Structure 1
Amino acid sequence: MIVVTGAAGFIASCLVSRLNAANFNDVVVVDNFSVEKKLPNIQGKQLREYVDRNEFFDWLDKNHAQVEFIFHLGARTDTTEQDHAVLDLLNLNYSKQMWQACVRYQLPLVYASSAATYGDGMLGYSDTEDALFPLYRPLNPYGESKNDFDNWALAQEEKPYFWAGLKFFNVYGPNEYHKGRMASVIFHAFHQIQQSGSMTLFKSHHPDYTDGGQMRDFVYVKDVVDVCFFLMQHRKDSGIYNLGSGEARTFLDLALNTFNALGRTADIRFKDTPEDIRDKYQYFTQAEMGKLKSIGYSQPFTRLEDGIADYVQHYLLPGRYY
């Protein structure tokens, strides 16, 4: 059996589809299944069992001998969350408990970290220097919770025989319908364009960037789950890895490609960045991807143009799930 936590969420549900496509059908899905808006993400998939996240560790105590691999992708992912107690419970302490269970039963583990750990990027976006990790200063409590767990994991003397933490950059793609404000800019652009024929981006409040010239490393969710699948098969070279496309692109690129995918003439407008996030806003992110490539991952990452076209035309327009 393969366990996937957060399985009704965005990235994890796409991973379940990727596993099913490779004929891994004994998938145990773990989540808070009372959040009904996420449930369409896992409908129609080949699944072995549903386990509530609060009951998972009891379940694992009884079934660990049948478990082959654990993907721990469940988390509180709202970057505007200010309740440290919630983040400590779901992102830090639950992950510690998962790690300790994987040590106890010698189970391989891949878990979700985040590029939010890098903060404003002043120390760069390199995943090769573990000594830098305690120096990062995330810009929000969500990033702090992910950085706290990365540092805790690195400090442990007892580790799973294989483990990998993945610092996700700006992931976009199908199955993010439920995420509301936290959905990708492409998702919001699509709906703005469909409703009004135009879309709005944040103005730049930084002298080095023009309006729409803010840059992010946008990575297609299908690439993300391909990396997860590779690590499940690889099972060596434990550590923390960046997971982006390796290429920063502007929000203007994103907007223009969304219009192109819809066959519409571009009409892009700008508004002030909300004050509650303005001082925490990242103007540039770009994953250094050499570490992942150095362990043998050789698949090319999807170009933004191609990823947006696939997402818009094959998923958003028909309302399909992956």
Structure 2
Amino acid sequence: MIIITGGAGFIGSAMLWELNRSGEDNILIVDDLGSTADKKWQNLSGLSFADILPVDAFVRCLAEDKFNDCTAVIHMGAISATTETDADLLLDRNYFFSKNLAGYCMKKDIRLIYASSAATYGDGKAGYRDDEEKLHSLRPLNMYGFSKHLFDCWAKKNDVLKKSAGLKFFNVYGPNEYHKGEMTSVVFKAYNQIRENGVVNLFQSHHPDYLDGEQLRDFISVRDCTKIMTWLLENPEVTGLFNVGTGKARSFRDLVTATFSALDLDPAILYVPMPENLRDKYQYYTCADTDKLQKAGYSGSTTSLEDGIRDYVQNWLVTLTPHFDIGHNTHNH
């Protein structure tokens, strides 16, 4: 059995779909679905799995050692809001829960793949290399990034990274992110703004080195992420921290232009002031150094921003079935 924490979430449910496509459905989903208004449950409605447990019940079952048939844990469960202000809640879910789960996996010799984040790199002054020996030099800009960084450091200090794979996801976009509210990708937000009023709002730059719309990010399709995770499942000898990005930094203007293009429309962009509370926590540039993953043996390519957005918009967002669904295979990459 494979356990996916955060299995009803964005990347977790995408990974469930990926496993289903390969014929695997002996999977335990661990997640809290929240309000029906959030529609997070819809991420699971077209997918196949053995059972689902809320987080608190799962923690009790861990303590009672009820998962003797577990072969792998894909730990995507976390509070992923970079704007979350409850530091103790972030510590509880993103650090203490992760330590508990990692300890169980190490004791039972269970393959662990867990989600870290590019938010651990802070403003990028220390670079974007997934070098475990340089963890001490990173300074995250928000509590979310710090909670993920804390666990990376603990995993390194306690030799967990010698037996597991931690993934520093960069800016992920794609199907099944719809429940994330303000934390959805800029692609999804741009698509909805185009549909609603034909214009996309982007933050003005408040940095002298970047023009409006030229802030840069490493945007990666969730389907590229699940390919990397599948490879790591199949190669349990590969361990350590790894960046999950394309290795290419693209501008927000590029992204919005590609979204308009996928809808066969000319771009219309309005630049608006960035909220004061974000200005000192804003990353103007992120780009994954992907050498380490490639040297570990991963040879898969990543989708270009234009192709990834075209696929997301045309094969998912504009359709009547925008969620991952194993019942049909019409959405081809």
The answer to whether the 8 A contact 1:84-1:141 is kept is yes
State the partner residue of 2:313.
312
What is the CA deviation profile of residues 174-195 of structure 1, one whole-angstrom value per residue up to 9, with x for unaligned ones?
A: 0011111100001000000011
Runs in 1 of length 4+ with deviation above 6 angstroms?
A: none
Matched, 1:288 2:289: yes
Matched, 1:126 2:129: yes
- Counterparts in 2 of 1:25-104, with a 5 A limit? 25-36=25-36, 37-60=39-62, 61-104=64-107
The answer to whether the 8 A contact 1:7-1:16 is kept is yes
Shift of 1:23: 0.6
State the partner residue of 2:184.
183
Shift of 1:35: 3.8
Instruction: Indicate the SS of the match to 1:174.
Output: coil
> How many residue pairs are counted as aligned between the two chains?
320
> Which segment drifts farther, 251-260 or 36-45?
36-45
Q: In structure 2, do the counterparts of structure 1 residues 23 and 65 end up closer, same or farther at CA, with 3 Å as the change threshold? A: same
Within the candidate set 153, 156, 179, 2:155 is matched to 153
Q: Which amino acid in 2 is paired with 1:28?
A: L
Shift of 1:59: 2.8
Instruction: Indicate the SS of the match to 1:311.
Output: helix
The answer to whether the 8 A contact 1:99-1:160 is kept is no
Matched, 1:144 2:146: yes
State the partner residue of 2:266.
265
The answer to whether the 8 A contact 2:249-2:287 is kept is yes
The answer to whether the 8 A contact 1:107-1:160 is kept is no
Q: Which amino acid in 1 is paired with 2:87?
A: H
The answer to whether the 8 A contact 2:161-2:239 is kept is no
Matched, 1:202 2:206: no
State the partner residue of 2:328.
none
Q: Which amino acid in 1 is paired with 2:169?
A: F
Q: In structure 2, do the counterparts of structure 1 residues 74 and 20 end up closer, same or farther at CA, with 3 Å as the change threshold? A: same
Instruction: Indicate the SS of the match to 2:79.
Output: coil
Identity of paired residues, percent?
A: 44
State the partner residue of 2:12.
12
State the partner residue of 2:253.
252
What is the CA deviation profile of residues 91-138 of structure 1, one whole-angstrom value per residue up to 9, with x for unaligned ones?
A: 00000000111112111100000000000000100013x221122110
Instruction: Indicate the SS of the match to 1:94.
Output: helix
In 2, Cα distance between equivalents of 1:306 and 1:110 = 27
Q: Which amino acid in 2 is paired with 1:245?
A: T
In 2, Cα distance between equivalents of 1:59 and 1:160 = 24
What's the TM-score once normalised by structure 1's chain length?
Answer: 0.97
In 1, Cα distance between equivalents of 2:31 and 2:287 = 30
State the partner residue of 1:302.
303
Matched, 1:114 2:146: no
In 2, Cα distance between equivalents of 1:164 and 1:280 = 28
What is the CA deviation profile of residues 268-287 of structure 1, one whole-angstrom value per residue up to 9, with x for unaligned ones?
A: 11001111101111110000
Shift of 1:75: 0.2
Shift of 1:160: 7.8
Shift of 1:150: 0.2
Which consecutive residues of structure 2, in runs of 5 or more, have no partner in the other structure? 325-333
State the partner residue of 2:3.
3
In 2, Cα distance between equivalents of 1:133 and 1:62 = 32
> Which segment drifts farther, 165-174 or 261-270?
261-270
In 2, Cα distance between equivalents of 1:213 and 1:188 = 18
In 2, Cα distance between equivalents of 1:22 and 1:237 = 21
Q: In structure 2, do the counterparts of structure 1 residues 127 and 160 end up closer, same or farther at CA, with 3 Å as the change threshold? A: closer
In 1, Cα distance between equivalents of 2:162 and 2:184 = 34
In 2, Cα distance between equivalents of 1:18 and 1:114 = 21
The answer to whether the 8 A contact 1:204-1:211 is kept is yes
The answer to whether the 8 A contact 1:106-1:161 is kept is no
Shift of 1:33: 2.8
In 2, Cα distance between equivalents of 1:58 and 1:69 = 19
